[in-house]
Amino acid sequence: MKSVKEVSKLSGVSRRTLQYYDEIGLLPPSAVKKSGYRQYDDESLRRLWSILFYKELGISLDDIRLLLESPREMEKEIMRQHKHILLEKKAQLEKMIVSIDRILNDEFDLSMLRDFDQNRIKATMKTYAKEIRALMESGFFLPLVKSGIFPGSISIVKNASNVMNTDFGELVSLSAEVIQKFREAMIDGPESLAAEAAVNAYRELINIIWIPCDDQSFRKIGRAYLVHKEALDQKSPGLAEFVSKVILHVYQ
């Protein structure tokens, strides 16, 4: 167990910031002594690492909370994507080191100017950040996370290979398609064929990203869309209640 002082020294995060993270429920301490001093175990420190990682990507604290409550495999997939960006940066730095050695040996050619071209890396980061924001800002998956059927503290993904073999941008596109299917189905009603197609596409997406979901668990997700509908209603009024009705109708 580490004290606030020790965690602050290890991470560079101020004590006030750690206290704030505790106050908003983002990083509660593992234990609190009778004296009132907060303590953090290894799992809490790992959570802090994730918070700092997401902040580095420019993700808001509200969205970080949502990501931390999501299944561990989603977090791993985001890290895989960011690792790809870091490897590109590493390759560029290694090229620059080689160029420095050549300059020190009074060698130069025009290709060395490419060492300073950041456009490809910036484009990758911009696209990646846009994909994450699109996924988080929709608010569509918050009830799914809040349903409680996917413990965020452990990875229970049975088919993680599906996620590893699927491009993150493709997953975001599939998510957007599911949301659009539900929006279009609202015109025809919760008992329409369009609504049934939307809910089946949603269940298939869950099977890809998380775990195979049985009917009982899916009904629980449907009820969660009524209980935790506020965030989604702000973006798409009435959509949460509609999704709930469709799920409970199709999988009654």
CATH of the domain spanning 2-56: 1.10.1660.10
Q: What is the pLDDT of residue 169?
A: 59
Is the model's pLDDT at 143 over the cut of 70? yes
pTM above 0.75, yes or no: no
Q: What is the DSSP string of 50-77?
A: HHHHHHHTT--HHHHHHHHHS-HHHHHH
Percent of the chain past pLDDT 70, that is, above it, reads 75
Q: Which residue has the higher pLDDT, 32 or 81?
A: 32
CA dihedral 110, 126, 202, 210 (to 10 degrees): 80
What are residue 55's DSSP bridge partners? none
Q: Which residue has the higher pLDDT, 83 or 139?
A: 83
Quick check: 223 and 248 in contact, CB under 8 A? yes
Q: What is the pLDDT of residues 153-185, one digit of tens each?
A: 333 333 333 444 455 556 667 777 888 889 899
Every domain of the chain and the residues it spans: 2-56, 72-250
Q: What is the pLDDT of residue 208?
A: 73
Task: Point out the least confidently predicted range of 51-65, 106-120, 157-171.
Answer: 157-171
